[in-house]
Amino acid sequence: MKILVTGGFGYIGAHFINRLKEHEILVVENFCQGRNNVIEGIQYKEVDIRNKEKLLEVFREFRPDIVVHYAALANVPDSVANPAKYYDTNIIGSLNVLECMREVGCKKIIFSSTAAVYGQSDELINEDHPKNPTSPYGHSKLMFEQILKDYHRAYGISSVSFRYFCASGCDEGGKIGCYHDPETQAIPNLVKTLLGKQEIFNVWGGDFPTPDGTGVRDYIHVNDLADAHILAIKKLEENGCFDYNLGINKGFSVMELIKEAERVTGKKLNYKMSPRRAGDPATIIASSMKAQKELRWTPKYTDIGEIILTDYNFFKTQ
């Protein structure tokens, strides 16, 4: 099978490709996060998905059977400050991908969505939970999910949309990892501080309506996300428009992360309480039962200490 992967050398895309076997892969990448996750032997084209003319050339040459669409901007606070660039990439760029698929007759796409489509909830969130994004980033992903439904109805393009909760961890082989700049996720910033690569860890918000006042998140290991995408390839043998949450069905506050990181590393963290970031909900925890039932997907990394250590061990080598 010929698989075109947009953003395939980004954090999640590279972990997917690293675990994918027996397929012909072409990565479309603009390298906005650098080239550290380039995987040897994987062919790629340096193209921005907003450049429809160049993108169409790639599609016509490769003629994929399926597209895995990771390419996006994904910084919640930045999307609040700069919504235009998020709609430009996450909507217009993504529409270019769909239109190129139509041009070459490709009828299958796996889409990298987000739990940010939901907004705040104190309960486990299933796929039918009301959608109430608190940021332009979340809005852009929800809009594209609707576009996928419309394209399925009108043009017969089948899709799987994965709503990631907090993607975390790194491959234990140490060859690929998290190279976001700036880094906004809690665990990478936490372990970088423990390793002395940055001076202090900011706890963004200590006045949320949670037991200890800090934000609560469901942290899902990036290899478990990658495995779900591999299972989705088979799911798309069916005609339809499918959506799934991906998380471990359990939430941890930032203070709980700190305590667990100190426990598993034996180091003391230098941190400070800082004001909330724009667009951050207090609590968001997945119910991933639908993915477990329909895809037969089961997350292997359910111990938060183990997830933290995979990041810690990766950043030790950087």
The pLDDT tens digits of the residues spanning 6-22 come to 999 999 999 999 998 78
Residues 143 and 284: beta-carbon distance below 8 Å: no
Q: Which two tokens stand for residue 269?
A: 């963290």
Are 204 and 278 part of one and the same domain? Answer: yes
Single out the residue in 246, 264, 299 at which a domain terminates: 246
Of 137, 151, 164, 244, the active-site residue reads 137
What average pLDDT does the segment 99-106 reach? Answer: 99
Are 78 and 178 part of one and the same domain? Answer: no
Are 24 and 130 part of one and the same domain? Answer: yes
Residue with tokens 């099978």: 1
Terminal CA-CA length for the chain: 35
Are 62 and 141 part of one and the same domain? Answer: yes
Closest C-alpha to 104, from 63, 68, 69, 67? 63
Are 30 and 11 part of one and the same domain? Answer: yes
Q: Indicate the pTM of the whole model.
A: 0.94
Q: In whole angstroms, what is the distance from residue 119 CA to residue 129 CA? A: 10
Q: Is 179 one of the catalytic residues?
A: no
Q: In whole angstroms, what is the distance from residue 204 CA to residue 293 CA? A: 35
Q: Which two tokens stand for residue 180?
A: 């976001």
**pLDDT at residue 179 is higher than 90:** no
Q: Is 21 helix (H, G, I), strand (E, B) or coil?
A: coil
Put the strands of the sheet holding 124-125 in their side by side order: 124-125, 283-286, 216-217, 252-253
Our measurement of the distance from residue 240's CA atom to the centroid of its chain's CA atoms, rounded to an integer in Å, reads: 22
> What is the number of domains present in the chain?
2
CATH of the domain at 179: 3.90.25.10
CATH of the domain at 160: 3.40.50.720
DSSP 8-state secondary structure symbol assigned to residue 88? I
Range of the domain at 258: 169-217+249-316
The 10s digit of each residue's pLDDT in 274-299 is: 999 888 889 999 999 999 999 999 99
The 10s digit of each residue's pLDDT in 221-279 is: 999 999 999 999 999 999 999 999 999 999 999 999 999 999 999 999 999 999 998 88
Are 271 and 192 part of one and the same domain? Answer: yes
Are 181 and 163 part of one and the same domain? Answer: no
What average pLDDT does the segment 208-215 reach? Answer: 95
Q: In whole angstroms, what is the distance from residue 19 CA to residue 15 CA? A: 6
Are 32 and 53 part of one and the same domain? Answer: yes
Are 15 and 76 part of one and the same domain? Answer: yes
Are 106 and 225 part of one and the same domain? Answer: yes
Are 193 and 55 part of one and the same domain? Answer: no
Q: Which two tokens stand for residue 107?
A: 């009828």
Helices of type H across the chain: 11-19, 52-62, 76-81, 83-87, 94-104, 136-155, 186-194, 222-235, 254-265, 289-294, 304-316
Identify the residue with better confidence: 121 or 263: 263
Residues 6 or more apart whose CB falls under 8 angstroms from that of 73 comprise: 79, 85, 86, 89, 90, 137
Compute how many other C-beta atoms are within 10 angstroms of the C-beta atom of residue 98. Answer: 22
Phi-psi region of 88 (alpha: psi -120 to 50; beta: other; left: phi over 0): alpha
The 10s digit of each residue's pLDDT in 129-163 is: 999 999 999 999 999 999 999 999 999 999 999 99
Are 293 and 200 part of one and the same domain? Answer: yes
Share of the chain above pLDDT 90, in %: 86
Q: Which two tokens stand for residue 299?
A: 């997350």
Closest C-alpha to 301, from 228, 222, 245, 215? 222
